[in-house]
Amino acid sequence: MIWLIAVVGYGCVSGISTARAATPAAAPAASYAYEPVITGTSEIPGRLVDTLTETALSFRLKETPPPSQASLARRAEGDIERLVRVLKSDGYYDAAVTFEIIPPEDNEQQASLVFAIEPGTPYLIADVLVDDTGHGPKPVDDARLERMGLHSGHPARASAILDAESVLTRLYHEAGYPHATIAKRRVRINPPDKTMTISFAVETGQKLAFGATGIHGLTSVTEQHVREFISWEPGEPYDVRKVEKTQQLLESTGLFNLVTVQIADKSASGADQVPARIDLQERAHRSVGFGTRFSTSEGPAGDIFWEHRNLFNEGEKLRLGATASLIEKGVEATFVDPLRQDPRRSLLVESEIKAITSDAYDDNHATVFAGIEESLSRWWTGTLGPTVEYYDISSSEEFNGGVTLIGLRGNLAYDNTDNRLNPGKGARLRIGATPYTTFGKQEVNFLLSSVEASTYYAFDEDKRYVAAARTRLASTVGAERRAIPPSKRFYAGGGGSVRGFAFQTVGPLDEDNEPVGGRSAAEIGLELRLRVTDSIGIVPFLEGGNVYRDAFPDFQKPDFLWGAGLGFRYHTEFGPIRLDIATPINKRDVVDKPVQFYISFGQAF
């Protein structure tokens, strides 16, 4: 301490004596650089080693070294307790940790801080007991143990015990005890046997049934419509799963910004029913939107729509839209009416009137579909119903004139992605099949089917780095290609297909190098979506595919046509604005251009 005072005093004196000169630079603060290491970890899981290094301040503060060896020792001493606590939480209740500081040699830049771990034998679960009567604990039955994830002979990890406690509470909530809680958890360790016995004391509260349900916050949606989504009847035994299902169904309607379904903290004195309360905040039910896009092969395009999601105050949805581009012009309408008997099932009516002008064919058509759309689960949706379609077609082949098609459309869709326009995790799957029969110059029967899938994986929690992949398989059986209307054949190439190739040019071509379509198709696409900043992203991508004359893809011949490129994204509150530049890898002479550009809103898939 005297030495420190002397140094400070010297500095002060020095500063006074050189007042007229330039102020000297302060001496850099001393630091004791070190490299932390953990030994003795060969017998413990790698995930536990990672947790140890993440917990110890000596590792976390490595880039901020202390001023001296003594300070480093104090830092390490504090880590001993932290490391032992982590080891015990993973079942190593006899663990011991020591440390040693090895000063640097003359030719070394930093010291070594070595933590030596003696984990000992991990403790295993011997018994799991529950006392829910106050008359003493009893062993948990196998069915509950399976749900809780605790089994005799499994490692006695603290995380597993805490998870099991939450599951046990839920089991009572599912069995009619809405206010059940874990009053106490006791853990008894048996060092000679290296085992642990876990006991839970449960305060079940009163076993109750659902009572009356109050609904609050409605402005235009009718109360009767909301009650159609309630998954219980008054008098039914309480089950938390029915509460969760009701909330999920109400959220899926798209009518509300906020949905809260909860039960009272306790039932009325002496009552055997517990009342429920649903609080709702309606969202705006009308919206108008538009979008634009551009590609070098398709030119500019624009879309506009108007939508009402509560047309008659019971969730009926009407959407009107219009499209205009060099290839496609037309209008479309969609009406969805939830059925009163089951609000998860809706009447779906879709219609469109459009004109198509492309290298493959020209047509003017009108279509209408009416069917049932049903929410099969949280992620699955099914659609089934008849469709009637009329096409007035002009093509380079002999298929010209008017044709009427009658079909039975069936679709099965799965979607658990986290964002419609910019998914960062989850998957999508769409399976479709439609048998058609035609009326016109000749009667033709065929089955058109397709499978489309995409998946998304984020490498980090903020979803700044996302890998995305997609595939498409399609087939038509029952008729030869020339008998199938060109509007119902498969095509590939363009911004929504294989980028790098012009619209519809991937596949069979005629003598004028114009697409003629095929009976089957296969595509694959890969993207790596990277956020450079919060608003700017880059997306390298690779896509391939082909269209085939036969009913099923022949992956041997012809070869896939591959395109690759680099995309740029400007991320907005509503979704990303997309600019993609792509080139064909196996470019065909005369047919393909060296570069294609695509601009639109939202990710490519």
Q: Is the pLDDT of residue 486 over 70?
A: yes
Q: What is the mean pLDDT of residues 37-48?
A: 93
Q: Phi and psi (nearest 5°) for 148? A: -75, -20
Q: Is the pLDDT of residue 7 over 50?
A: no
Residue 24 confidence (pLDDT): 43
Q: Is the pLDDT of residue 428 over 60?
A: yes
- Six-digit token string for 580: 């993609």
DSSP 120-159: -PPPEEEEEEEESSSS--EEPPHHHHHHHT--TTSB--HH
- Six-digit token string for 325: 């581009």
State the pLDDT confidence band at 316, using cuts at 50, 70 and 90.
very high
Q: What is the mean pLDDT of residues 235-261?
A: 94
User: pLDDT tens-digit profile of 173-225?
Assistant: 999 999 999 999 999 999 999 999 999 999 999 999 999 999 999 999 999 99
User: pLDDT tens-digit profile of 324-368?
Assistant: 999 999 999 999 999 877 778 999 999 999 999 999 999 999 999
Tell me, letter by letter, the H, E, C secondary structure of 186-235: EEEEECCCCEEEEEEEEECCCCCEEEEEEEECCCCCCHHHHHCCCCCCCC
Range with lowest mean pLDDT among 11-25, 45-59, 147-161, 203-217: 11-25
Residue 14 confidence (pLDDT): 27
Q: How far apart are CA 72 and CA 538, in angstroms?
A: 44
Global pTM value: 0.73
Strand-strand pairing, 209-216 and 273-282: parallel
Residue 558 confidence (pLDDT): 72
State the pLDDT confidence band at 106, using cuts at 50, 70 and 90.
confident
State the pLDDT confidence band at 269, using cuts at 50, 70 and 90.
low
Q: Is the pLDDT of residue 375 over 80?
A: yes
Residue 15 confidence (pLDDT): 29
Q: How far apart are CA 430 and CA 452, in angstroms?
A: 5
Q: How far apart are CA 260 and CA 221, in angstroms?
A: 16
Find, among 549, 539, 556, 560, the residue nearest to 517 by Cα: 549
pLDDT averaged over every residue in the chain: 90
User: pLDDT tens-digit profile of 535-563?
Assistant: 999 999 999 999 999 999 988 777 899 99
Q: How far is CA 3 from CA 25, 31, 331, in A?
A: 21, 18, 89
State the pLDDT confidence band at 271, using cuts at 50, 70 and 90.
confident
* Residues comprising the chain, all counted: 605
